[in-house]
Amino acid sequence: MRLDEKIALLERERRQQEKEEKLLAEQKENALRKPVKKLTIEKAMEGIRTGEFRLESGELFEFETRTFTDSQIPVVTFRNFFEASQEEAEGVIYVSHTNEVSQILSWPKEPIKPVSMKQWANLLVNGMAANRLHAKIVKTEELDFVDYICFDVPSGKDRLYNIIFRLKGTGQQFTGNYNCRKQDEDTYGVFLEAMVITLNNLFSAK
């Protein structure tokens, strides 16, 4: 092969490589521009029904339903997720230190004076303020069998997203407090809220 032919061949190879690199860069840019589908309560509840849900990122979440107290109250929890748990006569705590997520359930024997949703929210805010914490209420919901409040509070350098709920009309006092980092509200927060709504729906189906 003559020198001029070798030079021409190398030039063609260089141009082909530049073309492929440009195409790859465009594909990466388009992937970044592609909007990520937001996790909805409906999708999270469907995942709970089937026992698992995989995000677009590939992260897999698994779920299971456990029963608590003599009343066999069915509660959805994450499966293969928590590193620590503590079970007591009047409650249970599940904690994932890795993901900074917890599910706390309580069924105290001492009766709790019933209050309206507005009073409950005010007690929450005032109780936090007494500890010099500003609780920002995001949502309040009154369902057929469950009431719940979504709120966030400061926690170190970040904010903590919480969902507290209470079961009503069962003859058994049963409450819960779920939380995650505020920055994970659109993933863990959605799953946790879907679990609370599923609890209500399980009672509706009885």
pLDDT, residue 172, reads 61
Q: What is the pTM of this model?
A: 0.80
Between CA 53 and CA 60 the distance in angstroms is 6
Query: Do the strands 136-142 and 146-155 form a parallel or antiparallel pair, or are they unpaired?
Result: antiparallel
Strand partners, 75: 66
Position 110 confidence tier, pLDDT thresholds 50, 70, 90: confident
Which structural domains are found in the chain, ordered by start? 41-204 (3.40.1000.10)
Alpha-carbon radius of gyration of the chain? 25
Neighbours of 25 (CB within 10 A): 10
pLDDT tens digit string along 155-177? 877 899 999 999 986 556 899 99
Q: Which residue carries 């589908």 as its tokens?
A: 37
pLDDT, residue 174, reads 93
Neighbours of 67 (CB within 10 A): 10
Residue with the larger pLDDT of the pair 132 and 125: 125
pLDDT tens digit string along 46-104? 999 999 999 988 999 999 999 999 889 999 999 999 999 999 999 999 999 999 999 99
